[in-house]
Structure 1
Amino acid sequence: MLIEAFTEAKDPSAPHTNEDRLVILPGRAYAVIDGVTDRLGTRFDGMLSGQYAAMTVQRALEHLLSAPDGSDDPVAIVNALTAALAPVYEKHGMAERAQADWNFRISAALALVLVRRETVDVLLVGDSGVRINGNHTIRVEKDLDLITSLLRRQAWPVIGRKVSDPERHEQMSRQVTWHGTQQSLENVAGTLDADDMAVIESRAIAANLEALPHVSRADIENLVRGGIVNAQGGYQNNASLQLGYPCLDGFEVPQHMLKIEQFSCSDVRTIEIYSDGYFKPGNGFGVAAWEKAFAEAEREDPAKVLLYPSPKGSTASLWADDRAYLGVRF
């Protein structure tokens, strides 16, 4: 067996800020955990909420799967991880705020591979991915993320006509994506005015209607106008909405929103698990191949507005996101 693993923070000079975590239990389980970036600067025991969520899930998962009587049923695992996160809110006096406002929740995505006697089971909660044998990719694509990514793409040239500094350009594009086109103009004063925001909103709605004809106009307008902070929370673990998506946050994750696939052990030669900080998959197994693909994506589209649309891009000093890769060759 060969195991290769790598992770790096979006700020390479501050590795302690990395919100991605790895779980490696050889012959038993492998996972990548991606803590969701906090929007409000909320801290738990000195850590940002994404780090705290990822650490809590990592510890709970390792404990559960290392115990002699630990369950390896995917649904039971999700329930156990939810139960591990739930007490955090009471501990920090945030139970009511977390219940009412998604922005106060600690959240994490999970990509888990369980190795059993006869099968290899894949469990996804969120948008990290798994690749089996280098050619079969399992991932949940979120239309919701594409909507805010296209919002940023439409905002990019409008902002570019107003600012020349690359860092400021990226900062303002995130401001639009995070808070939407209906945010207070005080937030973008000195860069964008009401006419600019109206242009961005109109173009973003039109672009999304064309790219996502199956999504309702109401949902598109909601996310464009409200952005991630003001609109996205209503979709998290909400099975009643078309754009609802699963996430570990201490609240119930609807079972049918989980992505579970099973393979025969005899058919699996390699397992690769990765977080969404990789915008392009490696053309082969291993850290070197995936880091080469990462470098190519950064050269091709560092701002993430052309080939690899994202709610955030890279700058000279920061990557767009933390990234993690875990590969196992049997």
Structure 2
Amino acid sequence: MQVELLNRSKYRDGAQPGDDVALVLPGMAYGVFDGATDPRGSVVDGTPAGRLAALTVSAELAAIALDPALREAAPRELIDRLSDALERRTAALDLPVPPSTTVAVALDCGAEWRFLLLGDTGIRINGGEVLRFDKVIDDVSTAARVRLFHALRRQVTTPDEAEYATRRAIFLGLDQCVADGRLTPAEADDIVAGATADTGLTADADTVAAFLKGGIQTQYRFGNATGPLAFDTMNGTRTGLGEIIDQRRPKSEVRSIEIFTDGYPALPAEASAAAWETAFHEAEAADFHKTGAFATVKGSTGTEFFDDRTILILHTAAR
């Protein structure tokens, strides 16, 4: 087997680590954990809260992988065990936003590969089949952000200034943007209405409005909850929607496994780290601000890529 791993911080100068964590235990487990960036910037002993979550859960997964019997445990048992480890590590910290992370793991189970996923980190098998969850709440934030970026770009001198102002508004809420004097209440309402229509959530307009006006700093309230914007995540509590992927494939049918975070906006045709990087830079060139074909909740700037990115590839057949 051949393993390729690229783990790249969003900071262009590489001075700080990102919130993505990779795990490689040959013959046992391979995983990627994307810690959620804390919108309030919480740091624990020098470690950002999202990275702390990813490190904690990856360490517990490593402990599970060392026991062949545990690798065969029911998916709910495995997810709950990971969640309990995160709760033990973070409960006493009393942070305003519970640290959280995704989980995407390939477990070596003898004659089979077992794939376990929670959140929007993806796994691609044989360069084609993709296992992954998308979050409606991210679609809502993205739709609002695109409209907001264009509105703020008309007010400021540089694209970077527009991006940082947009991030502040999307993370802290449109109400904060109004308080900052960047938007009028009517303009904020127009952005909310547009994002609601763009995502087809008109029946849940009040929920969408409350979320966008409060910002991503309130998103944790929808984690492991129920409702139109709810999503399952690894945050130290029990999942609420059952959004756990647990699938198996005979090893004889698997040529390659690619585990990737959403810092890669485009999937390449080839299963190689070089191909993933090429696709990334092509997307950066085509949509630097992430308001077009690769729209997302943040754009790139002169000092930061729009997100951390990690790609872990297992070439399981001879090349």
Please indicate the TM-score interval, normalised by the length of the shorter structure.
over 0.9
CA 1:251 to 1:206, structure 2 compared with 1: closer, same or farther past 3 Å? same
Name the counterpart of 2:121: 128
Which one-letter code corresponds to 1:144 in the other structure? I
Alignment of 1:107-256 (within 5 A): 107-183=100-176, 185-186=178-179, 188-189=180-181, 192-194=182-184, 197-213=185-201, 216-230=204-218, 232-238=219-225, 240-254=226-240, 256=242
Which one-letter code corresponds to 1:307 in the other structure? A
Name the counterpart of 1:87: 88
Corresponding residue to 2:99 among 106, 112, 116: 106
1:32 touches 1:273 (CA, 8 Å); kept in 2?
yes
2:177 touches 2:183 (CA, 8 Å); kept in 1?
no
Q: Distance in 2 between matches of 1:287 and 1:6?
A: 7
CA 1:15 to 1:122, structure 2 compared with 1: closer, same or farther past 3 Å? farther
Alignment of 1:254-265 (within 5 A): 254=240, 256-265=242-251
Structure 1: 5+ residue runs without aligned partners? none
Q: Does 1:57 align with 2:57?
A: yes
Cα deviation, 1:89-114, whole Å, max 9, x if unaligned, reads 3443x1xxx5xxxx421111111112
Between 38-47 and 69-78, the greater mean CA deviation after superposition: 69-78
1:8 touches 1:15 (CA, 8 Å); kept in 2?
no
2:126 touches 2:255 (CA, 8 Å); kept in 1?
yes
1:29 touches 1:113 (CA, 8 Å); kept in 2?
yes
Q: Distance in 1 between matches of 2:163 and 2:195?
A: 20
Q: Kindly, what percent of the aligned residue pairs are identical?
A: 28
CA 1:174 to 1:90, structure 2 compared with 1: closer, same or farther past 3 Å? closer
1:205 touches 1:224 (CA, 8 Å); kept in 2?
no
Which one-letter code corresponds to 2:14 in the other structure? A
Name the counterpart of 2:39: 39
- How far 1:131 sits from its partner (Å)? 0.5
User: Partner of 1:315: helix, strand, or coil?
Assistant: coil
CA 1:208 to 1:25, structure 2 compared with 1: closer, same or farther past 3 Å? same
Q: Distance in 2 between matches of 1:176 and 1:221?
A: 14
Corresponding residue to 1:276 among 255, 258, 262: 262
Cα deviation, 1:6-55, whole Å, max 9, x if unaligned, reads 01000032354211111112232211100110111222122110111111
Which one-letter code corresponds to 1:299 in the other structure? A
Which one-letter code corresponds to 1:28 in the other structure? M
What is the Cα-based RMSD across aligned positions, in Å? 1.9
Q: Distance in 1 between matches of 2:203 and 2:140?
A: 10
Between 211-220 and 38-47, the greater mean CA deviation after superposition: 211-220
CA 1:225 to 1:81, structure 2 compared with 1: closer, same or farther past 3 Å? same
Q: Distance in 2 between matches of 1:60 and 1:300?
A: 39
User: Partner of 2:296: helix, strand, or coil?
Assistant: coil
Name the counterpart of 2:79: 78
- How far 1:278 sits from its partner (Å)? 0.4
Q: Distance in 1 between matches of 2:189 and 2:250?
A: 48
Q: Distance in 2 between matches of 1:76 and 1:322?
A: 29
Which one-letter code corresponds to 1:315 in the other structure? T
1:123 touches 1:259 (CA, 8 Å); kept in 2?
yes
CA 1:136 to 1:68, structure 2 compared with 1: closer, same or farther past 3 Å? closer
User: Partner of 1:183: helix, strand, or coil?
Assistant: helix
- How far 1:264 sits from its partner (Å)? 2.5
Which one-letter code corresponds to 2:222 in the other structure? Y
Which one-letter code corresponds to 1:108 in the other structure? T
Tell me the TM-score normalised to structure 2 length. 0.92
Which one-letter code corresponds to 1:106 in the other structure? P
Q: Distance in 2 between matches of 1:243 and 1:221?
A: 11
